[in-house]
Amino acid sequence: MSIPANSIPAQHAHRPMTRDERRVIFASSLGTVFEWYDFYLYGSLAAIIARQFFSGVNETAAFIFALLAFAAGFAVRPFGALVFGRLGDLVGRKYTFLITILIMGLSTFLVGILPSYASIGIAAPVILIALRLLQGLALGGEYGGAATYVAEHAPANRRGAHTSWIQTTATLGLFLSLLVILGVRNATGEEAFAAWAWRVPFLVSIVLLGISVWIRLKLNESPTFQRMKAEGKQSKAPLTESFARWGNLKLVLLALFGLTAGQAVVWYTGQFYSLFFLTQTLKVDGNTANILIALALLIGTPFFVIFGTLSDRIGRKPIIMAGCLLAALTYFPIFKGITHYANPALEAALARSPVTVVADPASCSFQFNPVGTARFTSSCDQIKAFLAANSVNYENQAASAGTVAQVKIGDTVINAFEGAGLPPAELKTRGDALRAQLTQEIRNHGYPAKADPAQMNRPMVVLLLTLLVILVTMVYGPIAAMLVEMFPTRIRYTSMSLPYHIGNGWFGGFLPTTSFALVAATGNIYYGLWYPIVIAVMTLVIGMLFVRETKDRSLDD
């Protein structure tokens, strides 16, 4: 039940933050920055990791496999939320998220010393995925603890402002990871970085781990939790109370579908899919793309605190819902604008030289191969894999059964070949010849091999990327306070962690993989945007109809 603002004791609602409380905000936020740094190194280096650990499969499958290994860390986050959320509600916030950061830091360090596929074969990707799972479990317990801990220290009328500092940590962690990657890249050069120096940012995490543990050891337990424990009101079964009783389960479901799912896809579109789009679709070199994203993050990050503070005045819900609405309305024009300013030659080729794939639909696979074992050898599959990898939009045209696929590029027609049943050596020889012919033809029609730095309008690209980051801050800045306020103290850690990590771990974490597969299947470089748009609209509708404002609720229940 919502408690009117005037029912909150004035001395609690309006007192200024004490020095100890400011230290809590700083320490919690700084530790979480380091934890997100660890987690996002993998995402930023997915292309290199694909070559290091999944080199036993073809290039397209390797990249999809690498993205899925990244997503695996997100997949287990809800389980981490259950394990560590329960622990946090039983024994306390402080010790629980001390454990999570130890698991995260050590797992990241081990990635830095893990031998590649060339050295130990299939064991390399197996161990890598196991480490990613440990990272996901740790992160599943981290966020709920940090957000709850900070909110339970904050004055009632400033919870949005103070928890918004926790919201900056994911962006700052990504920003820190990009800076370290850029520094190592520039110091060693691209060739050395791709060969061995990519490990350095992972190894540096052991230093950050030491700093984070030292900081968190100096913290005290949440006063709200201490009061609840002293009064004997502690839950003995947080999982049962959170998810087996309809009154609270209903709130969990509303938090998931009416808040965190939309927030998650907006977050990952603005900060991860944008980087993927620049490097994989628009062929902007990794160094430049990281600099552009870093500048956008630097400009946009203060808006987390701005929107968090604003939510203390006008409410959390209006800001989050507005962010979902604006994302759904603007994603297509923003990403088309990024193409226009980052790679105008590609934009011109897409408009001037339409491509059509003429094939028997029965011979075309949905080339989503999570285990990297399938071989896509049909004439249709070979052509589509090539075009998708080279950012060439194409239309699909059905042909009669048994027809060998062909590509129409402008007025040119190129016939593929049927690869099923061919010996591997002959399949490779003929495949290489087909790809060489296709490469020559798309270059003749103006499709660039990579973005031309001389044609790139960097200020406009940064501006558009900043708009994406600002949308992120709208949905993410107020959400920690809102989730904390939705649930009672005795089961708060558990109840808020699960919907947050299902939303961000599943709806958000699988966004790059899902969007990439949609683009490859449809032949449209923008088609992957439909995934975040549909989820954002779903959250907008559910949130507007069923989620209640929380900003005036008391945390002392």
Contact 262, 539 (CB under 8 A): yes
User: Is residue 537 very low, low, confident or very high in pLDDT (cuts 50, 70, 90)?
Assistant: very high
303-322 pLDDT, tens digit per residue, is 999 999 999 999 999 999 99
Amino acid (one-letter) located at 461: V
Average pLDDT rounded to a whole number, residues 464-492: 91
For a pLDDT cut of 90, what percent of the chain falls above it?
Answer: 24
Dist. CA 181–CA 190, nearest whole Å: 11
Query: E strands, 442-552, where?
Result: none
Residue 326's H or E segment, with its range, is: helix 316-342
Dist. CA 51–CA 58, nearest whole Å: 10
Contact 442, 400 (CB under 8 A): no
78-130 pLDDT, tens digit per residue, is 888 888 877 877 776 777 878 888 888 888 899 899 998 888 888 888 888 88
Average pLDDT rounded to a whole number, residues 437-455: 86
Q: What pLDDT score was predicted for residue 476?
A: 93
Q: What pLDDT score was predicted for residue 349?
A: 86
Residue 394 has pLDDT above 50, yes or no: yes
Dist. CA 333–CA 155, nearest whole Å: 41
Residue 231, Cβ neighbours under 10 Å: how many?
8
Residue 452 has pLDDT above 60, yes or no: yes
Dist. CA 416–CA 385, nearest whole Å: 12
Report if pTM > 0.85: no
**Pick from 35, 205, 44: which is nearest to 137 by CA?**
35
In the chain, ranges of CATH 1.20.1250.20 domains: 14-343+454-546
Give buried/exposed letters for 129-168 (b at 16+ CB in 10 A, else e).
bebbbbbbbbbbbbbbbbbbbbbbbbbbbbbbbbbbbbbb
Q: What is the CA radius of gyration of the chain?
A: 25
Contact 213, 101 (CB under 8 A): yes
Residue 360's H or E segment, with its range, is: none
Domain 348-444: state its class.
alpha beta
Q: What pLDDT score was predicted for residue 492?
A: 81
Query: Higher-confidence residue: 156 or 110?
Result: 110
Q: What pLDDT score was predicted for residue 503?
A: 84
What letter does residue 280 receive in the DSSP assignment? I
User: Is residue 370 very low, low, confident or very high in pLDDT (cuts 50, 70, 90)?
Assistant: very low
In the chain, ranges of CATH 3.40.30 domains: 348-444
Residue 335 has pLDDT above 90, yes or no: yes
Dist. CA 164–CA 127, nearest whole Å: 35
Residue 7 has pLDDT above 60, yes or no: no
> Is domain 14-343+454-546 in CATH 3.40.640.10, yes or no?
no
Residue 3 has pLDDT above 50, yes or no: no
Q: What pLDDT score was predicted for residue 150?
A: 83
Query: Higher-confidence residue: 221 or 470?
Result: 470
